[in-house]
């Protein structure tokens, strides 16, 4: 049987374990498991890597525990601007939206841009209008707000006044969700969705909707979804560079992703992480912060989820 695999992340801005009650962590892991199961059902039923990625990311966007969709970061103006992208490793087709305010599941809008327009990236109000015309769910901007993000914004603004912004935790600042998948036809896909940085200036766009920076997939090599300070990921074309290291320098997935996260990105002293899968279904999820919500199901069907260093083996899933 040809291998299938799914890997997901919920951002490298995971809070210290002691900062949230245990039921929050239990629910975070449960939502990671839900996202993995939804993607596995697609893949095990012979569905496409693109459908699996879209499905997993949409589950994470609907969860309040991650910085994407419901639960997204707030701008300094106190509202939300969301970015997302998706890439099909079989064709190199891709779609993205940025600075949108009304689309309930930005990943679905990115997919619609890829499949139903001649564009790759649509921004702002025009993207919201495009999604409405495409029949996607539209919500008020306030739908994305949670109490945790309100507190993070207040705390960052207070730090800015006191001049202690550099001491803010990764969790106060940012997060993202993403997924990568390999389907039974050998096709790879990647998708990423984010609210970006808390307290970001309106109009700021990070790496998430930039193909080659936050998201990249090419059949036969790898699919990659990134999290961390987007400006640096754009400058280093991180997701594409993982592919290039493997394709041109013959590095393994682990070598290529470790080099990016622990050498290139860590040199800037930024929080960084990613999830990636190769053509054999091997999944890696390196990060350099306290924690990164993540999970994967490899070709053996074993589901793993984690928020901090220790990894929990949840169950073994069957293939149809």
According to the binding rule CB under 6 A, does residue 196 interact with ligand ASP?
yes
According to the binding rule CB under 6 A, does residue 85 interact with ligand ASP?
no
Considering only CA atoms, which of 284, 262, 266 is closest in space to residue 275?
284
Minimum gap (Å) between residue 69 Cβ and ligand ASP = 14
In Å, how far are 11, 32, 160, 202 from 36, measured between CA atoms? 15, 6, 38, 33
One of 95, 228, 281, 286 touching ligand ASP (CB under 6 A): 228
In Å, how far are 12, 65, 170 from 149, measured between CA atoms? 16, 10, 13
Which residue in the block uniquely carries the two structure tokens 């550099």?
166
According to the binding rule CB under 6 A, does residue 227 interact with ligand ASP?
yes
Compute and round to an integer the Cα radius of gyration of the chain. Answer: 18
One of 208, 215, 257, 289 touching ligand ASP (CB under 6 A): 208
According to the binding rule CB under 6 A, does residue 230 interact with ligand ASP?
yes
According to the binding rule CB under 6 A, does residue 71 interact with ligand ASP?
no
According to the binding rule CB under 6 A, does residue 69 interact with ligand ASP?
no
Q: Which stretch binds ligand ASP (CB under 6 A): 91-99, 110-118, 135-143, 189-197?
A: 189-197
Which residue, 48 or 257, has its beta carbon nearer to ligand ASP?
Answer: 257
Contact between residue 233 and residue 194 where contact means Cβ atoms under 8 Å apart: no
Q: Does 194 qualify as catalytic in the annotation?
A: no
* # chain residues binding ligand ASP, by CB under 6 A: 16
Q: Tell me how many degrees the CA angle 239-241-247 measures, rounded to the nearest 5.
A: 115
Distance CA 214, CA 221 (A): 17
- Tell me the β-bridge partners of 305: 295, 312
One of 28, 55, 85, 176 touching ligand ASP (CB under 6 A): 176
> Helical H runs in the chain?
22-44, 49-62, 106-116, 124-133, 147-162, 170-173, 230-235, 238-249, 253-258
Minimum gap (Å) between residue 201 Cβ and ligand ASP = 12
Minimum gap (Å) between residue 196 Cβ and ligand ASP = 4
* Residue from 14, 145, 176, 215 carrying the catalytic annotation: 176
Which residue, 82 or 122, has its beta carbon nearer to ligand ASP?
Answer: 82
Give me the helix-helix angle, 106-116 and 124-133, nearest 10°: 80
Minimum gap (Å) between residue 187 Cβ and ligand ASP = 25
Q: Which stretch binds ligand ASP (CB under 6 A): 41-49, 110-118, 147-155, 171-179?
A: 171-179
List residues binding ligand ASP (CB under 6 A): 11, 13, 174-176, 194, 196-197, 206-208, 214, 227-230
Residues known to be catalytic: 176
């Amino acid at each position: 049987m040809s291998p299938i695999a799914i890997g997901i992340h919920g951002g490298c801005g995971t809070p210290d374990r002691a900062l949230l009650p245990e039921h929050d962590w239990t629910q975070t892991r449960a939502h990671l498991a839900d996202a993995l199961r939804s993607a596995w059902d697609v893949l095990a039923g012979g569905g496409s890597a693109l459908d699996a990625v879209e499905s997993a990311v949409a589950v994470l966007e609907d969860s309040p525990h991650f910085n994407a969709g419901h639960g997204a970061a707030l701008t300094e103006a106190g509202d939300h601007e969301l970015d997302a992208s998706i890439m099909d490793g079989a064709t190199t087709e891709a779609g993205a939206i940025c600075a949108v305010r009304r689309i309930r599941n930005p990943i679905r809008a990115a997919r619609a841009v890829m499949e139903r327009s001649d564009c790759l990236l649509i921004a702002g109000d025009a993207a919201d209008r495009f999604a409405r015309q495409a029949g996607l769910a539209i919500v008020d901007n306030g739908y994305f707000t949670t109490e945790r993000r309100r507190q993070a914004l207040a705390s960052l603004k207070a730090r800015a006044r006191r001049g202690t912004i550099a001491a803010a935790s990764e969790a106060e600042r940012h997060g993202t969700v993403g997924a990568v998948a390999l389907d039974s036809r050998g096709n790879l896909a990647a998708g990423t969705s984010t609210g970006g940085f808390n307290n970001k200036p309106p109009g700021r766009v990070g790496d998430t909707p930039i193909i080659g920076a936050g998201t990249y997939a090419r059949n036969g090599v790898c699919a990659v979804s990134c999290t961390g300070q987007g400006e640096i990921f754009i400058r280093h074309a991180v997701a594409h560079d993982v592919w290039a290291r493997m394709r041109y320098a013959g590095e393994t997935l682990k070598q290529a992703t470790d080099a990016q996260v622990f050498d290139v990105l860590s040199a800037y002293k930024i929080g960084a992480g990613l999830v990636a899968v190769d053509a054999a279904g091997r999944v890696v999820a390196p990060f350099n912060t306290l924690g990164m919500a993540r999970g994967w199901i490899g070709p053996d069907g074993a589901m793993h989820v984690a928020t901090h260093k220790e990894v929990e083996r949840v169950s073994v899933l069957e293939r149809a």
